[in-house]
Amino acid sequence: MMDILFIDRLTVMAYIGINDWEKNCLQKLIFDLQLSCNTEFFEDHQSVVSYIDYTHVNQVILSLVSQKHFYLIEDVANLIANTLIEKFCIYWVRVKVNKPGAIHNACNVGICVERKNKTLLKSLKKS
């Protein structure tokens, strides 16, 4: 069994979009994140594998999204998913990027990507 650390409706202003006007205009992106982990590892807080600090996850996302202009919401989702897999001890991650208001006759549009930490999942199978 695996546990899931989640962050809902994390809101960030970003330069995002395929149109010229979107290069200089901050727009709202809302993230829903799920990080699969094993919280039993976390009981010993002195151990190397410690808990996943959701404030640290938040900082990583803020720093990634504020660095540059992104063309597609897919680009943001992929960068965040791959970075979280690299930086945190998690089995898989699900990143949903919402760009509300992008289509005038829909309340929301977005993309949801899932990435696995193949190395960690392999070591889980062996044990």
For the annotated catalytic residues, the residue numbers are 99
Residue 47: how many other CB atoms lie within 10 Å:
9
* Minimum distance, C-beta of residue 15 to ligand LV4SOB2L, in the bound complex (Å): 11
* Minimum distance, C-beta of residue 115 to ligand LV4SOB2L, in the bound complex (Å): 18
Interaction between residue 72 and ligand LV4SOB2L (CB under 6 A): yes
Applying the rule CB under 6 A, the residues between 28 and 57 that interact with ligand LV4SOB2L are: none
Where residue 44 falls (left for φ over 0; alpha for ψ -120 to 50; beta otherwise) is beta
Q: Which of 70, 69, 78, 64 is nearest to 111 (CA)?
A: 78
Interaction between residue 19 and ligand LV4SOB2L (CB under 6 A): yes
Q: C-alpha distances in angstroms, 24 versus 10, 20, 64, 70?
A: 22, 8, 17, 11
Q: Which residues bind ligand LV4SOB2L (CB under 6 A)?
A: 17-19, 22, 72-74, 99, 102
